[in-house]
Amino acid sequence: MKPISASIITIGDELLIGQTIDTNSAFIGQELNRAGIWLKRRVAVGDLRDEILQALEAESRENDILIITGGLGPTADDITKPALRDYFAAGVRVDEDALQNVHDIFSRFGRKPSEVNLKQAEVPDNCTVLPNRRGTAPGMWFEKDGVVYVSLPGVPHEMKGLITDSVLPRLKERFTLPGISHRTALTAGKGESDLAAHIADFEAALPSWIKLAYLPSYGLVRLRLTARGDDATAVETELDRQFNELKHQVREWLVADEDISLPEALHRVLKARGRTVGTAESCTGGYLARLLTEPAGASAIFLGGVVAYANDIKEHVLGVPAETLRAHGAVSEETVRAMVAGALQVLGTDYALATSGIMGPTGGTPEKPVGTIWVAVGNRERTDTLLLNYRFDRARNMELTANAALNFLRRFILNDL
């Protein structure tokens, strides 16, 4: 069976000149993939009529589905709707439901929509409107010569709502979709090429219809097996078998056998044990706390933290002895040990995680260059420390440190029987 293929066309100068990072495409790609639709290409074009028309023509020649996002705002630089009207040689109509929606949204805030806002309800007369309760720009569904075109607003939460509530159910009804299945393992602490060398034989022995991909991200590597096939039971059975073998081979670095984040994996470990954690951060400046509170329900395992950026706060809030700071410096094993001890006491948690280092670009010395970072994790009985040495820019040092520290905490908890 020929796979159903799709292309995403994102519209907006802001994507091309780099003032906006395109997070929508990743979400849409994930959802299409999960539904068994092959995302073949992704194209971004600017707010230019001819560019939009050309992309619509080119992508519709090779795909069954086109998902178009962006350029539906009420401002003059948003030209997706007129371009779609030209493309389909369509007239314009006011959609009563969309118009009511604009009024509803404004009345929720006790305001009256302007003329510009009301224009959001004008749509090409050949489209089916997909209601958007989260914003004023409706989604639009077109069909032409067997190809489905879906136009969605670029605002992420509006686009997401429309994809989940309207687009996917309609696509599943409209097309017969094949079986596609994934298994993802999250690993930490081993680089992409080392992992590849370690599992080279496994990879070489995979059947042709199962593909292995490496997805590295700041000290983490996701390993993803993807299988396609018509016999769903056989696919799942063989995929499970191969995935078990993969997990076994990377067991030393395995964080999770699902596609979850490192903070989510930590939550599960802590929740299963009914334990809590707190943070004492210097160089990570609140990022560990931010990551630990990202999953919903974080309050069950995270009680709080101290961001001790200045030495005064290390001393007076966390109780790091002035003598320790004087003798060893803020970036030292002794200081992060004292930060853990202080955090356990001040925060009253079962575990505490501490960081102190030099993220750059300034602040390095010959003995402690930029990228020198001490991490400590402990409970009432024991504290372990870890010295990191990165040589990257501030943003990358921060991401690497955060993942290394969270993984260090995870391993400490797992060993704390």
Q: Which stretch binds a copy of itself (CB under 8 A): 82-90, 166-174, 265-273, 277-285?
A: 277-285
SS3 letters for 314-354? Answer: HHHCCCCCHHHHHHHCCCCHHHHHHHHHHHHHHHCCCEEEE
Is there binding between residue 336 and a copy of itself (CB under 8 A)? no
312 binds a copy of itself (CB under 8 A): yes
Q: Is 55 in the site for a copy of itself (CB under 8 A)?
A: yes
Q: Which is nearer to a copy of itself, 106 or 175 (CB)?
A: 106
When the beta carbons of 8 and 130 are compared against a copy of itself, the nearer one is 8
Please give the residues from 60 up to 79 whose contact with a copy of itself meets the rule CB under 8 A: 73-77
Within 337-376, the residues that bind a copy of itself by CB under 8 A are: 346-348, 360-362
The DSSP secondary-structure symbol of 111 reads -
Candidates 35, 165, 317, 411; binder of a copy of itself (CB under 8 A) is: 317
Q: Which is nearer to a copy of itself, 1 or 21 (CB)?
A: 21
Give helix 49-62 / helix 80-88 axis angle, nearest 10°: 60
Binding part of the chain for a copy of itself, among 21-29, 168-176, 249-257, 266-274 by CB under 8 A, reads 21-29
Question: Restricting to residues 185-224, which ones interact with a copy of itself according to CB under 8 A?
Answer: 192-193, 196-197, 200, 203, 211-217, 222, 224
Q: Coil, strand or helix: which one is 218?
A: coil
CB of 417 to a copy of itself, least distance (A): 26
Q: Which of 95, 411, 85, 410 is nearest to 267 (CA)?
A: 410
Give the residue with the Cβ less far from a copy of itself, 157 or 382. Answer: 157
Q: Is there binding between residue 406 and a copy of itself (CB under 8 A)?
A: no
Task: Find residue 221's DSSP bridge partners.
Answer: 187, 216
Residue from 300, 290, 299, 308 nearest 376 by CA: 308
Interface positions, 140-159, toward a copy of itself (CB under 8 A): 155-157
A 10 A CB-CB count for 237 gives: 11
Planar angle of CA 46, 52, 53, nearest 5 degrees: 160
How far apart CA 234 and CA 241 sit, in angstroms, is: 11
Task: Write each residue from 23 to 52 as x if it is in contact with a copy of itself (CB under 8 A), else as -, in one continuous string.
Answer: x-xxxxxxx-x-----xxxxxxxxx---x-
Q: Is 298 in the site for a copy of itself (CB under 8 A)?
A: yes
Residue 392 binds to a copy of itself (criterion: CB under 8 A)? yes
Query: In angstroms, rounded to a whole number, what is the distance separating the alpha carbons of residues 387 and 156?
Result: 39
**For a copy of itself, which residue of 3, 22, 177, 249 counts as binding (CB under 8 A)?**
22
- For the purposes of burial, counting CB atoms within 10 Å of the CB of 107, is it exposed (0-12), middle (13-18) or buried (19 or more)? exposed
